[in-house]
Amino acid sequence: MSARLRAIAKETEEIVGRGHYTAPGGREVSIAAAVADAFRTRLTGGGRFAGRFAHVVFAVLDHRPGAPVRAAFERAFADEAGRP
């Protein structure tokens, strides 16, 4: 593995460990929120898989204080909760 690939792998591990990265311009991007939004986009509204499932359950393991990963999914799907 080249030094460049090792550096990219190390940076990726650090980003995953933190749960966010800083985008150009200084904006902080939550990985959990980005993943939850990607699922929401595809499963609801005009998304590719909208209406194809009667019920979707996410199993989210989150041991961090405040459960930020679970909270990101709860926020992303808050207006979908309880819909048939």
Burial class (CB in 10 A: 0-12, 13-18, 19+), 68: middle
pLDDT, tens digit, 9 for 90 and up, residues 59-83: 888 888 888 889 999 999 988 766 6
Q: Is the pLDDT of residue 7 over 90?
A: yes
Residue 34 near residue 76 (C-beta atoms within 8 A): no
Q: Is the pTM of this model over 0.75?
A: no
Q: Which amino acid is at 9?
A: A
pLDDT at 1: 72
Strand residue runs (E) in 1-84? 20-22, 28-30
Q: For residue 34, what are its two tokens?
A: 């980005």
